[in-house]
Chain A
Amino acid sequence: MPTKTTTSDGYLPNMAMSKDKAPPRPSPKVSDEIRQTTCYMCACRCGINVHMQDGKVKYIEGNKDHPVNKGVLCAKGSAGIMQHYAPSRLKAPMKRVGPRGSGEFKEISWDEAYEIAAGWLGPIRETAPEKLAFFTGRDQSQSFTSLWAQAFGTPNYAAHGGFCSVNMAAAGIYTMGGAFWEFGQPDWDRTKLFMIFGVAEDHDSNPIKIGLGKLKERGARVIGVNPIRSGYNAIADDWVGITPGTDGLFIMALIHELLKAGQIDLNYLTRYTNAGFLVNCAESGPDAGLFLRDKNGTAQVLDQSTGKPAPYDGKAIKPKLTGHFRKAGDTYRPAFELLAEAYMSDTYAPEAVEERCGIAAKRIRAIAADLARVAFEEEIVINQPWTDWKGEKHDQMIGRPVSFHAMRGISAHSNGFQTCRALHILQILLGSVEVPGGFRFKPPYPKPPEAHPKPHAGHAPGQPLDGPHLGYPLGPEHLLLDDAGNPKRIDKAFSWENPMSVHGLMHMVISNAHAGVPYKIDTLFMYMANMAWNSSMNTSSVIEMLTDTDENGDYVIPHIIYSDAYSSETVAYSDLILPDTTYLERHDCISLLDRPICEAEAVADAIRWPVVEPDRNVKGFQSALCDLGAKLGLPGFVNEDGSQKYADYADYIVSHERRPGVGPLAGFRGDGSESGRGAPNPEQLDKYIKNGGFWSEHLPEDAQFYKPWNQGYQDWAVKIGLFDKAAPYVFNLYLEPLRKMQLAAEGYGDRQPPEHLREQLKKAMTPLPHWYAPFEQELVSDDDYPLHALTQRPMHMYHSWGSQNAWLRQITGVNKLFVPSGVWEEHGFEDGDWAYVTSPHGRIKAPVARMDGVNGKTLWTWNAIGKKRGAWALSEDAQEATEGFLLNHLINELLPPKGDGLRWANSDPITGQAAWFDLRVRIEKAPKAGPSEPTHKAQKSPVGTGPKNVTYGDKF
């Protein structure tokens, strides 16, 4: 029997050695040393104290000083020890020796790996750089990976946002310069009524839990809108079990009620939004629906004092929200009038939506009344003077203590962009954005669409790309189309199929590359994304595409390079593996150039550093890109003499400058005392390490709220380097760029969409959000597929990585399909039963369990528990492979055929967001017992399988 070998001062009974009970006040030594870094068991980026003993990780706890998690840690974070020592860790670079999918590999040296990669990439860069598609998954180094891709010259770069939550991000930026998650947060300390839509877990994992805890402590009210009552919705005071895909209707019905009662914040609307902008109300014509602008291009409002048009940003100008103005035969009306007419119509009356939403009209009314009451009758005031962008001084900050949060539940639908917009419009009408008690941005947000770059795809042999890949199109002129009107990108981002696809469309890359549409590629280079499994819609067909061969017997997608840290499913489908380190073994930066760790009241960024040195032949992926970039001679990655510019990622983090004085890390610049701007500081990483792995600085008190219109904030942001000159703006209730796309669909302008897309564009791209039924829902009949099927993230698992973790997989090693009690009884299900679930795209077999607290038409399961046999160093009969299952086999990146000979994307028509949650299914009883279906042939594990037993901690 193994026994502990160490007893330290005052320590406790050790089985072998001590015969004594614990001393009354035991005070054992906890560890030799604490190393502070940033967790990466998920994308939340909490600060951690890693306790080291005898050179090993003994205990991980939250860092109390850290802005994100303030000391707490989630289950994944605590399980980091088991991730770091997972037997599934890749050990060395590998090249494939068996067929794709077999898992047969040979370990090679890094030099050979670079040779192979350069052998594929070098020639295409010289001839057709677009033949490289470089896509990254849960990347926290996008400002670096995109720089690399830009230097390479391929237009085909994006991270995974397109299938994740781009609707949320895009709708937020376009409407108000920032969305939920990293862009902002509720004012947890002051809000009195909090509504949360479609969230199981969120990226902001710990902050939301901390926030909910604060609300509970204060007895503030929480309303959860979600088809499923679990997690956050379990503790909500009121649960609204909405029918999937109908949130837009519900929100517009709330707006309907508020407008009819005049319960809106007029002062806020006139000052901080485009409610007063004059809109051309012609029935048709090239300017119909566009704003009236002066010769400088400044939008015009009707000034309250003169009743005449005036530039909206004029100093003493107070816009009217009603009235009209005629010019050159056209009538112009304030956007607000159009908005009021749209939402006061009977279409959005509670009675008109109750059935489709599955929420009683009376309930909708009551929620609207509560929102109005708390916003306007429980107003809060902070006595903090501030100055607005027009120079007006205010003595107080007035708060509307209602706040909202939403995530993929409203965004992962084909009507998600407009639903997210509707939610922002509701927030804005209540005057609850950037005010005390409401929703607050986290620097570097807010940042309106105009302040973001435009997308670029100008490529030429041997040349870098002509600008950043991704950005915010403001009209057809910014789409990435070639002269024939075809998409320039392999994922068809920024094309008429999805003009505002601001995060790219990673979920379309493999199927487009396989189909050779819009063109064929040579090398697919992926990082940290399990695209051969849980990341793809319709996993089985993606597996076929990855292994499909042409008439010569060559793979249709010729080369696949992949960087993973673990033996995932996707490793088996790749040709060349660049093994990454674990998060405790590498340098990283969580940068203001990317998605930093800021809080509403503080700007902050953070690093990771090797708290443990790798014990295998692995390398941080970004360091590998530094090497590979130099080997390929990419501009920015070599010095003038052709030598390698950045020795590794740490070197890049410290020495790279994006703009003079602005680098990846904002803290401790120059001589170590400068923040935001300053010369590179070679000691910077040490300073971060000494400071606990992060840097943060508080916003001045007068800059805490009203950020887009607050002179104090704007000046501070310039000082710290977030932008170079003050850039106040107003919120877009009415979204003109959408109207511009719509105008093109109506036939105006020289960039015209293809005929088959005109109707879709006209219908979807409305400048004020309207609700339309999710596409797949429209296409299938309720009789064939009467139910919705959803997934939720378990709070203790991160996608596919959790299952390799000896501790976490014990909590959820098998996922069940939860069936609402009505359906359960109708089909006569019993405990232990299995079911077939069929969608228009496939059939799965899965174990079922009953649930009462769920929308009566909705099945659901935990996401990404099912595993392929042989993956993750688990035994081939691991329960995740035999009983666990994926819903992904039922989903498809294309809609079922409509009969028009075309295959339409199962995506939001505005952003291209994958519509995971539009899925419709039917269920029937299956023979009891597994295995779950479909079954896949096992892959060989290139790293062996894990040991039988684990006794971690025994030796401490």
Chain B
Amino acid sequence: MTSLPQSTEKKLGLVIDLDTCVGCHACVVSCKEWNTSNYGSALSDVDAYGPEPQGTFLNRVHSFEAQPESGCSQTVHFPKSCLHCEDAPCVTVCPTGASYKREEDGIVLVNEADCMGCGLCAWSCPYGARELDQIFGVMKKCTLCVDRIYNENIPEEDRVPSCVRTCPAGARHFGDLGDPDSDVSRLVASRDGMDLMPEMGTKPVNKYLPPRLKDVPSDAALEATHKTPEGLFAWLDKALEKL
């Protein structure tokens, strides 16, 4: 059924801290290696060793420069995967019912057994979060590692998405954004977490924490109490005696 659930029991999603992300692409590759051998078909790579390699990835890191009114520009590394939108247009456009949003946790998934590879869901996603696999012909997207987060074959503390577990800087957080008391919800509240393209009306579950204020000019200066070495030495003798 491609209608969206009225509401979901949980809103599982990611919180990505742009103040901490160093743009290392660890989450990108970890996502690729987990997902290419788990949920659904593999994530293929076409022309892998040739002039135009292009493969399917579920998570990508863009790099931007933000130019404030004055001062120097700021570099922001910007990881992006499916935001598991509450009002996910990718679900409602899907003709086959392959795309769906889960009632239990809000994860948006593609049931590959039903997907006909029309690509319309990718067209409807504002964020570029879906990629049609060129060899397997089915739509691929972030699964929120649904096959990890409940997996009883994985130690409990590791039941988080692959990208979250791997992120060296700890810039990725996973949890229930529907529960205002969850760690992720608190983080979002305390750090002014935001939506991407709110004007699209998709109500993303994933949130981004904006970079903290940078390059704040300071007038601090030390008082030059000792203008000359001799001055310093005179003070030093006394200071040392006191020690």
Contacts and interface: CB of A to CB of B under 8 A. Distances in A.
Which of A71, A344, A807, A811 has most chain B Cβ within 10 Å? Answer: A807
A26 interface: yes
Nearest to B221: A365
A171 interface: no
Given A238-B215, A810-B53, A950 B44 contact: yes
Given A229-B74, A878-B50, A952-B42, A852 B232 contact: no
B47 interface: yes
B104 A24 contact: yes
A304 B240 contact: yes
Most buried by B among A26, A229, A875: A26
Interface residues of B, number: 102
Interface in A626-645: none
Contact of A21 (B24, B109, B221): B109
B22 interface: yes
A373 B220 contact: yes
A809 interface: yes
Given A235-B20, A878-B50, A59 B37 contact: yes
A878 B168 contact: no
A804 B53 CA distance: 12
A808 interface: yes
A322 B237 contact: yes
Nearest to B37: A953
A322 to B, nearest CB: 4
B19 interface: yes
Interface in B14-57: 17, 19-26, 28-30, 32-55, 57
Contacts of A875: 49-51
Interface string B102-120: 1010000101111000000
B228 interface: yes
B235 interface: yes
Contact of B102 (A24, A212, A949): A24
A87 B228 CA distance: 67
Interface stretch (A10-18, A460-468, A514-522): A10-18
B72 A852 contact: yes
A879 to B, nearest CB: 6
Interface in A463-495: none
A754 interface: no
A28 interface: yes
B189 interface: no
A79 interface: yes
Contacts of A322: 233, 236-237
A12 B39 contact: yes
B226 A209 contact: no
B77 to A, nearest CB: 6
Interface stretch (A175-183, A254-262, A282-290, A765-773): A254-262
Contacts of A267: 243
Contacts of B165: 61-62, 71-72
B113 A949 contact: no
Contacts of A321: 233, 236, 240
B6 interface: no
Given A320-B240, A365-B222, A213 B49 contact: no
Given A237-B214, A806-B45, A878-B49, A811 B28 contact: yes
Contacts of A366: 217-221
A810 B232 contact: no
A283 B211 CA distance: 55
A76 B30 CA distance: 9
A778 interface: no
A950 B20 contact: no
Nearest to B34: A59
B223 interface: yes
A887 interface: no
A4 B38 CA distance: 10
Contacts of B48: 806, 946-950
On chain A, which size bracket covers the interface? 35 or more
Interface string A191-219: 00000000000000110011011101100
Contacts of B77: 231, 234
A261 B223 contact: yes
Nearest to A333: B233
A369 interface: yes
A954 interface: yes
B173 to A, nearest CB: 11
Interface stretch (B88-96, B123-131, B132-140, B198-206): B132-140
Contact of A810 (B42, B55, B102, B224): B55
B226 A262 contact: yes
B213 to A, nearest CB: 8
B185 interface: no
Contacts of B21: 235
Given A21-B100, A953-B42, A956-B37, A340 B168 contact: no
Contact of A22 (B46, B147, B171): B147
B28 A75 contact: yes
A459 interface: no
B42 A27 contact: no
B150 A26 contact: yes
Contact of B29 (A29, A72, A78, A365): A78
B220 A370 contact: yes
Contacts of A25: 150
Contact of A28 (B17, B151, B224, B232): B151
Contact of A811 (B25, B52, B235): B25
Interface in A832-860: 851-853
Interface string A63-80: 010000101111111110
B3 interface: no
B33 A60 contact: yes
B90 to A, nearest CB: 16
Contacts of A22: 39, 109, 111, 146-147
Contact of A87 (B49, B152, B221): B49
Contacts of B243: 266-267, 270
Contact of A73 (B26, B35, B221, B235): B26
B72 A257 contact: no
Given A13-B111, A74-B24, A370 B218 contact: yes
B214 to A, nearest CB: 6
A431 to B, nearest CB: 12
Contacts of A879: 51-52
B190 to A, nearest CB: 11
B67 A369 contact: no
B240 A260 contact: no
B49 A796 contact: no
A946 B240 contact: no
A945 interface: yes
A370 B216 CA distance: 13
A951 interface: yes
Nearest to A794: B25
Interface of A: 1-4, 11-15, 18-22, 24-30, 53, 58-62, 64, 69, 71-79, 81, 87, 205-206, 209-210, 212-214, 216-217, 229-239, 241, 257-263, 266-267, 270, 304, 318, 320-323, 337, 340-341, 344, 362, 365-366, 368-370, 372-373, 795-796, 804, 806-811, 813, 851-853, 873-875, 877-879, 882, 945-954, 956
Return the 10 tightest CB-CB contacts between A and B, nearest first.
A946-B49, A953-B37, A209-B168, A953-B36, A213-B170, A261-B222, A25-B150, A852-B73, A369-B220, A234-B75
9 contacts: A11-B147, A13-B113, A58-B37, A366-B221, A369-B218, A369-B222, A811-B28, A851-B65, A852-B67
Interface of B: 17, 19-26, 28-30, 32-55, 57, 63, 65, 67, 72-77, 100, 102, 104, 109, 111-114, 135-138, 146-147, 150-154, 157-158, 162, 165-171, 211-212, 214-229, 232-233, 235-237, 239-241, 243
Given A216-B17, A322-B237, 17 more contacts: A24-B102, A24-B104, A61-B162, A71-B165, A77-B26, A78-B29, A78-B33, A209-B22, A235-B211, A261-B225, A304-B240, A344-B232, A362-B219, A853-B75, A948-B50, A949-B135, A950-B44
